[in-house]
Amino acid sequence: MKSKTGSKYPSDWPVIAQSVKKAAGNKCVRCGHINDPASGYALTVHHLDMDTANCRWWNIPPLCQRCHLHVQAKIVMRRIWFLPHSEWFQPYVAGYTAHRVGLNDERSFVMANVQALLEIASGIHAVLEGSLQ
């Protein structure tokens, strides 16, 4: 199955999505609401970089439908961020940063080094800002 961006979901996407939801305790990582489709809180899995083939843990947070719709068009992983990241989002940015700079992007490494990776991300953005002026 192809996504709107043209990339394909992996053939085992239902298994991946279910394991992501289960690992999060069947809760949205952004608002903490439990999966409850009847009340509008159906748990989904969002691809932060919009590439449905990219199923690295840092790219696929479990979000309720409300949060998914709220962040979908607003998060651009390559964006320069001027404000601190929300607590829920920090590990995902750190994982993305580790991947982009060639460091270990496995969850255990990233979680042990979130703040350092966020500082690297901030430094990268500062360099990019300086080169754009």
pLDDT in tens, 91-102: 999 999 999 999
More confident residue, 122 or 67: 67
What's the pLDDT score for residue 53? 95
Instruction: Give the pLDDT confidence of 10-20 residue by residue, as tens digits.
Output: 999 999 999 99
Residue 11 DSSP class = T
Q: Which structure tokens are listed for 108?
A: 């255990």
Q: What percent of the chain has pLDDT over 70?
A: 86
What's the pLDDT score for residue 40? 84
Cβ atoms within 10 Å of 109's Cβ, excluding its own: 14
The pTM is what?
0.83
For 46-87, list the strands marked E by DSSP.
62-64
Closest CA to 4 of 41, 51, 46: 51
Long-range contacts of 38-41 (CB under 8 A, 24+ apart): 40/64, 40/65, 40/66, 41/65, 41/66
What's the pLDDT score for residue 126? 54
What's the pLDDT score for residue 122? 82
Task: Specify which of 2-16, 62-76, 118-132 reaches the highest per-range mean pLDDT.
Answer: 62-76
Q: Which structure tokens are listed for 58?
A: 């840092």
Question: What's the alpha-carbon Rg for the chain, to the nearest Å?
Answer: 15
Q: What percent of the chain has pLDDT over 90?
A: 72
C-beta separation of 66 from 34 below 8 A: no
d(CA 121, CA 36): 35
Residue 2 has pLDDT above 60, yes or no: no
